[in-house]
Amino acid sequence: MLEQLSWKVGGQQGEGVESTGETFAVALNRQGYYVYSFRHFSSRIKGGHSNDKVRVSLKQYRAITDHTDVLLAFDQESIDLNVKEVREGGIVIADEKFNPKAPDHVRLFVVPLTKIAEECGSAIMKNMVSLGASACVLGLPISIFAEVVEERFRRKGQKIVDQNMLAIQRGFEYVKELGGALPEFALKPADGTRRLFMMGNDAIALGAVAAGARVMPAYPITPASDVMESLIRKFPKVGGVVVQTEDEIAAINMAIGAAYGGARAMTATSGPGLSLMMEAIGLAGMTETPVVIVDTQRGGPSTGLPTKQEQSDLFAALFGTHGEIPKIVLNPATTEECFYIMGDAFNLAEKYQCPVIVMTDLQLSLSKQTTDPLDLGRVEIDRGYLASESDLVPTPQTEEFKRYKVTETGISPRVFPGTKGGIHKVTGVEHLESGRPNETSPNRKVQMEKRMRKLRGVELPGSVVRTGDADAEVVIVGLGSNIGAIAEAVERLRADGLKVGHAHVHAILPFPKGQLEAAIDGAKKVVVVENNATGQLRHLMAHFGVQHDGIDSLLKYDGQPFLPSEIYQHVKGMF
């Protein structure tokens, strides 16, 4: 029996690959399995190979595997491109329609997917036939699909629901007759606990609405669009608004306007949009306006690899804006963290009155994964230093409210337009405490130091999480969605008897120098694992003065996420 399974469905984009994978994944998640899925797709609507890989296990893994146990192929290309990763003796289920051919190391089940689907009512249901075929191989009852099929097709009427279930049953029976019910592929039963199943972008949207975000101007871009699409469905219930703006420049400036107006405002984008937002991020820093920007990283530069994994916006997030401002950059690694970090992001933005960038990567944003319960009770809303009645100026106001009052912490009281006695000026020009423009040298120094003081010496708690052996010889440093692949590599290395640690970075600004130094202290070697070509995180460690003689990089920038085995092999070789 299998304790875990890697299942993959492949075909032409637009022929139901995604919905097949989704139905399979949701059905297994509801049985109590931990599920982690990863979509391989292209920046086009129809055509081109796409696949959806689903990992099912009895304990949680947040990485895809290098091998595949069962491959479902809707065309020969899907076999040709993916069969190499199907393990010795693994299964390929393919549509009879294209007369499939597969190499000898796999067991090929040729099933008339399309033909059976047509007999059940429509060729479109071939994905359902294929799910039935998969269930047979894995020793799963087809009843596990009943609920998902019902939910998916209820709107279309009972007849359609019945046809789809029949398609699943016929697929199951066909493979059974071929002798496809293989005991060695039967999945060990799960505990039946129903957990959440979502992608990082879903969790970000949930976290944002829980954190009190109510204004979200944004411009569609892969892989960020789901955040706005999700919020636009939620906001009517809480009085919020999503505006699909004309471009990213409008999006960030509108968010800044809304934040100045007193809303918790955010936007979400990816690399190209982040580049367009840079000037306004500087404005937010200069005017001390709290705004949250989600950057779902994808392959750059330029249009780059719009649908592929990369972590190459670190420098842009830290250094992209001209001039110097205080800024916070957070790096969630899991769906749960995506949820809670939005509350942190808004609280930090309002506490320090500065822009906060929440960086995910494509794998985290789009990989649907089993997710622990999300606790609304843990989300606190702290709006920072708001002017009290006594801070306000008597009316009629003959002088401005000191919005940029020089304080010890550098943090000044905020007041929202519409408030009596709070009139002040806001400008991107250097200004006095009142917000009036002033370019004199002494004032420049005072205000620049006031702004920069806000985050000086600050390290956010939990910026680095250290796991593995305390006395590790090698410490692996990573960030974002690589958490799963690294954790799994560490597990295998430790099983080999090697002393290995894992330091995961959850915030890169303020840079957690102290926490990172502590995390790698005593290790002979450090390897920084990241999805980019130049080792940006490693450079940041050097830039911010993290001292260690044995730091090296493991880089991957081909658009694909790290596989646990790649990290395992590399680190093994370091001993």
Residues 199-238 that bind other proteins (CB under 8 A): 202, 206, 209-212, 214-215, 217, 234-238
Q: Is the peptide bond before 396 cis (omega within 30 degrees of 0)?
A: yes
At residue 140, what are phi and psi to the nearest 5 degrees?
-105, 140
372 Cβ contact partners less than 8 Å away, ≥ 6 residues apart: 195, 196, 336
In angstroms, give the least distance from the CB of 128 to other proteins.
22
Closer Cβ to other proteins, 245 or 297, answer by number? 245
Q: Which residue of 125, 224, 243, 387 would you call a contact of other proteins, by CB under 8 A?
A: 243
Closer Cβ to other proteins, 280 or 489, answer by number? 280
Q: Which stretch binds other proteins (CB under 8 A): 16-24, 44-52, 170-178, 256-264?
A: 256-264
The pattern of x and - marking residues 555 through 574 that bind other proteins according to CB under 8 A reads: --------------------
CA–CA separation, 119 and 504 (whole Å): 52
- What residues numbered 383-402 form the site for other proteins, per CB under 8 A? 395-397, 400
How far from 134 is each of 69, 107, 139, 278, 552, CA to CA, in Å?
Answer: 11, 13, 9, 48, 43
CA–CA separation, 344 and 247 (whole Å): 27
CB 34 within 8 A of CB 370: yes
Closer Cβ to other proteins, 243 or 563, answer by number? 243
In angstroms, give the least distance from the CB of 245 to other proteins.
7
Q: Is 277 in the site for other proteins (CB under 8 A)?
A: no
Q: Which residue of 265, 266, 342, 529 would you call a contact of other proteins, by CB under 8 A?
A: 265
Closer Cβ to other proteins, 22 or 75, answer by number? 22
Pairing, β 4-12 against β 49-57: antiparallel
In angstroms, give the least distance from the CB of 469 to other proteins.
35
Q: Which residue of 20, 31, 245, 297 would you call a contact of other proteins, by CB under 8 A?
A: 245
Closer Cβ to other proteins, 435 or 478, answer by number? 435
Closer Cβ to other proteins, 422 or 484, answer by number? 422
- What residues numbered 445-474 form the site for other proteins, per CB under 8 A? none
Closer Cβ to other proteins, 339 or 568, answer by number? 339
In angstroms, give the least distance from the CB of 356 to other proteins.
17
In angstroms, give the least distance from the CB of 8 to other proteins.
23
The CB-based long-range contact list for 243-248 (8 Å cut-off, 24+ gap) reads 243/215, 243/216, 243/217, 243/218, 244/217, 244/218, 244/219, 244/220, 245/217, 245/218, 245/219, 246/219, 247/219, 247/276, 248/219, 248/221, 248/272, 248/273, 248/274, 248/276, 248/277
Instruction: Tokens for 151, please give them.
Output: 């939910």
Closer Cβ to other proteins, 265 or 546, answer by number? 265
Q: Is 420 in the site for other proteins (CB under 8 A)?
A: yes
At residue 9, what are phi and psi to the nearest 5 degrees?
-120, 135
Closer Cβ to other proteins, 264 or 327, answer by number? 264
CA–CA separation, 292 and 290 (whole Å): 7
CB 531 within 8 A of CB 482: yes
How far from 346 is each of 10, 292, 350, CA to CA, in Å?
Answer: 40, 7, 6
Q: Would you mind telling me the total number of residues written for the chain in this entry? A: 575
Q: Is 262 in the site for other proteins (CB under 8 A)?
A: yes
Q: Total number of residues binding other proteins (CB under 8 A)?
A: 72
Closer Cβ to other proteins, 206 or 476, answer by number? 206
Q: Is 4 in the site for other proteins (CB under 8 A)?
A: no
Q: Which residue of 186, 249, 498, 555 would you call a contact of other proteins, by CB under 8 A?
A: 249
AA identity, residue 324? E
CB atoms within 10 A of CB 388: 9
Q: Which residue has the tokens 């894995």?
A: 138
Q: Is 342 in the site for other proteins (CB under 8 A)?
A: no
AA identity, residue 19? S
Q: Which stretch binds other proteins (CB under 8 A): 133-141, 142-150, 180-188, 249-257?
A: 249-257
Pairing, β 241-244 against β 213-218: parallel
Q: Which stretch binds other proteins (CB under 8 A): 293-301, 313-321, 373-381, 499-507?
A: 373-381
CB 241 within 8 A of CB 257: no
- What residues numbered 175-204 form the site for other proteins, per CB under 8 A? 194, 196-198, 202
Closer Cβ to other proteins, 37 or 253, answer by number? 253
Closer Cβ to other proteins, 80 or 391, answer by number? 391
In angstroms, give the least distance from the CB of 409 to other proteins.
24
Q: Which residue has the tokens 């794998």?
A: 363
CA–CA separation, 126 and 139 (whole Å): 20
CA–CA separation, 359 and 345 (whole Å): 11
Q: Is 253 in the site for other proteins (CB under 8 A)?
A: yes
Q: Is 246 in the site for other proteins (CB under 8 A)?
A: yes
Q: Is 340 in the site for other proteins (CB under 8 A)?
A: no
How far from 46 is each of 6, 20, 223, 351, CA to CA, in Å?
Answer: 26, 16, 18, 46
CB 37 within 8 A of CB 62: no
- What residues numbered 485-514 form the site for other proteins, per CB under 8 A? none
Q: Is 483 in the site for other proteins (CB under 8 A)?
A: no
Nearest partner of 572 among 490, 504, 503, judged by Cα: 490
Q: Which stretch binds other proteins (CB under 8 A): 295-303, 422-430, 504-512, 534-542?
A: 422-430
In angstroms, give the least distance from the CB of 125 to other proteins.
25
Q: Which stretch binds other proteins (CB under 8 A): 14-22, 75-83, 153-161, 368-376?
A: 368-376
- What residues numbered 425-444 form the site for other proteins, per CB under 8 A? 425-429, 435-437
Closer Cβ to other proteins, 66 or 150, answer by number? 150
The pattern of x and - marking residues 302 through 331 that bind other proteins according to CB under 8 A reads: ------------------------------
Q: Is 54 in the site for other proteins (CB under 8 A)?
A: no
The DSSP secondary structure of 180-234, one letter per residue, reads ---GGGPBPP------EEE-HHHHHHHHHHHTTEEEEEE---TTTHHHHHHHHHH
